[in-house]
Amino acid sequence: MKAFAGSEKELTQSSLKALGAPNHPKVEVAWNRYYDHKELGEICTRIAKAYPALAKFSSIGKSYEGRDIWLITISNSKTGDPDSKPAMYIDGNIHGNEIQGGEVALYTAWYLTEMYGHVDWITELLDQKTFYIVPTINPDGRDAFIHKPNNAHSPRTGFDPRDDDGDGLIDEDGADDLDGDGEITQMRIKDPNGRWIADPDDPRILKRAKPDQRGEYELFWSEGIDNDGDGMINEDGPGSYDPNRNWPWKWAPQYVQWGADQYPGSLPETRAVVDFTMKHDNIAAFQTYHNSGGMILRGPGNKDEISTYRWEDLQVYDFLGKLGEEILPGYKYLVVYKDLYPVYGGELDWFYGGRGAITFSNELWNSFDYFRKKQEDERDWFGSQKDTYRFDKLLLFGEGIVDWKSYNHPQYGKIEIGGIKKAWTRTAPSFLLEEMCHRNMAFTLYHAYHTPQVSVDSIIIKDLPTGLKEVTAVIKNTRVIPTHTSQDVFSKITRPDLISISGGKVLVGGILEDRFAGEVREQKRNPERIKIENIAGMGAVYVRWIAEGKGPFTISVDAAKGGKNSKRSD
């Protein structure tokens, strides 16, 4: 009896193609693991080498410790200058421990280049649009998280030294890996006056004692000692500022909000992104990646900014945010200041307020994915302790938790050390990482698709007495996002859209405000090039000229965030 009747060639050249990813990629990347800064750069280099017409690899600046802040630009350069096309900027990993944004951002660059020419929708997207992708804007924090002992929440900061406890020393008392296992876990000490007890179902879990219940333990949040002899532990670790409170939009000083640092843009990483994006008016969409909790966040970051987000722009936000909830099961479309907590000087508000572009921040990884069920408390962003420990038992086979073990502490005496490893709770486990990358990428691709796309829809020529011509042009924006958001228009962030005519001498030109009544708002200076304040999403503007000449006439539109297009009359 033969197990397989076909030839060996038939076995190795199956006609079934797996959907959703390239079957035979030019650039092989394992998306079930995390990469340090050097490895991210190496993957970018391989992508740019394999696809020179689609990818360009560069750096937008240096981190405090001198690492490059990598940029990979993705667009079909054969269909136009990438810097002249409507663009989307994507970054991740602003907080050192929130590394998975780097993988999602880089997966996007990889997927787009690999699928170009194989999927029509992707091909059209890169022919028309540009993606500026910065996988990590905190490479110092990323490498520290990956290569040094940490817990799941450290380091949030970068590594420019700061004196957190005001003792004149800098970064002298951070966490310590006391047992040398490469993890910063927790410390607990048996104490009948403590307010923590062991969970009877799983004694590894500590929970708060009830108000009338006798405690068993006192819990110390991070493993460490009093390095500087001031009676406190772990009070002055590396950096200890928040890079996401350092942006030049509605910044607030340190006494209002911890982490703001000295002034907006005081950090080299922040300045590098600001400088780059200020030079690229073609960016019409921004996406940043954080973790965790499964959220699609929009601004404002604080209630003082409610009026900045005007209703016309909120309609676009709501359309895309609700689409995101469909693409990302378990994720919620939320507003930072009312659904999370107040933020001043955040990257999210800078991109909208300062650059006038529709912007989202996704909090990656969701406890919904533990067992594909909704958490009882929707604000339990990392999942309930019981679900976290049970997932570790059933699917990670104990790999994510360090069991409690005795340790003789130099200050506290006999204690126990144990708890959750740095790679668990905030970061997705390896077997779910690629799905997280793909789904979040899909959301950003639809956002990018709906950046404005202008075109000259039609040209209507009417003969007038004395040989003059009435030339009317219909200019369309075929996507949901307008060529200028209301914030862009109000603050005059980017130049007006320009509609020009050639092929004859223009006598009069202007915007046709009521195309049915024929009312024209004349532009007296340079009527051959009409300035348009905005072209609405899925909308059109009508422009009319009176010109001398037989034609044909060529009409061109040039929108900083909507691209360029021309059409010639018959």
- Half-sphere exposure for 275 (CA within 13 Å, toward CB): 13
Sequence-distant (≥ 6) Cβ neighbours of residue 250 within 8 angstroms = 301, 302, 304, 305, 344, 345, 349, 353
Rounded mean pLDDT, 74-94: 98
**Class of residue 350 by CB neighbours under 10 A (exposed 0-12, middle 13-18, buried 19+):** buried
- Half-sphere exposure for 28 (CA within 13 Å, toward CB): 1
The domains of the chain are located at 41-145+242-367+428-449, 165-237+384-420, 454-568
Instruction: Say which CATH topology domain 41-145+242-367+428-449 has.
Output: Aminopeptidase (3.40.630)
Rounded mean pLDDT, 364-387: 80
Q: With pLDDT > 70 as the criterion, what percentage of the chain qualifies?
A: 96
pLDDT for 221: 85
3-class secondary-structure state, position 317: helix
Q: Across all residues in the chain, what is the average pLDDT?
A: 94
Q: Write phi, then psi, for 277 (nearest 5 degrees).
A: -70, -30
pLDDT of 6 over the 60 cut? no
* Nearest-angstrom CA–CA distance, 106 and 37: 12
pLDDT of 1 over the 60 cut? no
3-class secondary-structure state, position 564: strand
Amino acid at 20: G
Provide the whole-model pTM: 0.95
* Nearest-angstrom CA–CA distance, 282 and 493: 12
Do 545 and 527 meet the contact criterion of CB atoms below 8 Å apart?
Answer: yes
CATH number of 454-568: 2.60.40.10
Rounded mean pLDDT, 239-248: 96
Sequence-distant (≥ 6) Cβ neighbours of residue 519 within 8 angstroms = 512, 513
- Residue 97's pLDDT band, with cuts at 50, 70 and 90, is very high
What does the pLDDT look like over 149-164, one tens digit per residue? 999 999 999 999 999 8
